[in-house]
């Protein structure tokens, strides 16, 4: 794949983006040169993977260790009934290749851990959170800090969701305001369109980071309430004593 230029078929495919003054040919080539890690191919990862592949991200690394279950299908739209029992990464790989053959998709069938996260994020431009537990998110957060890679957090429950963007060295990190693990073990209820809303915002943030445009959701947590159809932002403040991004911290994995 020639990452320095677009072929004529790609120019046609991305025409509606190329005509945007915020994107242009230069910006589309930047998208093609980018590599994004999507951690988790569930409700959030399904949508962000679709939109980023469609937008022309050149390389998408998808990491998930689970298989598709029937109970996933109300929200994990990259999978279908015929995919039940398949590894989620392989199910997603098939759909993304069909959507955009110009996107290099790398499936990683592994549980995210301290031992494998650094190779997983190696060479990535952005990390997108599609996980469903704080432990995995904290591992992603530490890798983000160590490798200086922007990390876009997303979370959903019921009819609500939230999203924020962490930029190492410039903003607070996940640990600054999610220091305690609640220990939630039971499945939570989720209405399908909510992860769609949050993942769409995550995808847009990733495109803006790669292109270097717009105002990011940094230092702000955007909270969406689907019942009242409202958005609100709350300020996220850096903890100077944060064990991950604090000035006297020496983090390791």
Q: Please report, for the domain that includes residue 205, its CATH number.
A: 3.40.50.720
Domain for residue 1, yes or no?
no
Mean pLDDT of 200-205: 98
More confident residue, 253 or 200: 200
Place of tokens 């996107």: 103
Domain for residue 143, yes or no?
yes
Average pLDDT, the chain: 95
Q: Smallest Cα–Cα separation from 169: which of 248, 251, 246, 243?
A: 246
C-alpha distances in Å from residue 184, one per residue of 110, 132, 209: 22, 10, 32
φ/ψ of residue 71, rounded to 5: -70, -5
Domain for residue 13, yes or no?
no
Joined tokens for residue 251: 């983090």
pLDDT of residue 160: 98
Domain for residue 72, yes or no?
yes
pLDDT of residue 185: 66
C-alpha dihedral sign at 88, 90, 93, 94 = negative
8 Å CB contact between 125 and 209: yes
C-alpha distances in Å from residue 128, one per residue of 21, 84, 86, 123, 178: 25, 24, 23, 14, 17
Q: What is the largest CA-CA distance in the chain?
A: 52
Cα separation of 96 and 17, whole Å?
19
Total-model pTM: 0.95
Domain for residue 28, yes or no?
no
Number of structural domains (the chain) is 1
Domain for residue 51, yes or no?
yes
Confidence band for 184, pLDDT divided at 50, 70 and 90? low
Domain for residue 115, yes or no?
yes
pLDDT of residue 37: 98
Find the domain containing 116 and state its range.
Answer: 34-235
Angle (CA) 65 66 67, round 5°: 135
Mode of pairing for the β-strands spanning 35-39 and 59-63: parallel
**Does residue 180 have a pLDDT over 80?**
no
Domain for residue 100, yes or no?
yes
**Does residue 91 have a pLDDT over 80?**
yes
């Amino acid at each position: 794949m020639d990452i320095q230029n677009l072929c004529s078929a790609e120019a046609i495919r991305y025409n509606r983006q190329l005509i945007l003054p915020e994107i242009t040919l230069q910006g589309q080539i930047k998208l093609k040169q980018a590599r994004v890690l999507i951690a988790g191919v569930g409700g959030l990862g399904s949508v962000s993977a679709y939109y980023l592949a469609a937008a022309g991200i050149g390389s998408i690394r998808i990491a998930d260790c689970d298989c598709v279950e029937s109970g996933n299908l109300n929200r994990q739209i990259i999978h279908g009934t015929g995919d039940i029992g398949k590894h989620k990464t392989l199910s997603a790989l098939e759909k993304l290749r069909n959507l955009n053959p110009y996107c290099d998709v790398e499936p990683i069938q592994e549980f995210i851990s301290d031992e494998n996260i650094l190779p997983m994020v190696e060479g990535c431009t952005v990390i997108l959170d599609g996980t469903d537990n704080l432990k995995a998110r904290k591992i992603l957060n530490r890798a983000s800090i160590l490798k200086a890679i922007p990390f876009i957090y997303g979370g959903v429950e019921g009819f609500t969701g939230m999203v924020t963007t962490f930029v190492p060295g410039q903003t607070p990190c996940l640990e600054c305001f999610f220091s305690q693990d609640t220990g939630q073990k039971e499945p939570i209820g989720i209405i399908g369109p909510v992860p769609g809303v949050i993942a769409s915002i995550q995808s847009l943030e990733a495109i803006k980071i790669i292109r270097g445009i717009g105002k990011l959701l940094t230092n702000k947590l955007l909270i969406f309430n689907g019942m009242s159809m409202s958005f609100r932002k709350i300020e996220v403040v850096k903890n100077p004593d944060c064990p991950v991004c604090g000035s006297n911290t020496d983090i390791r994995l």
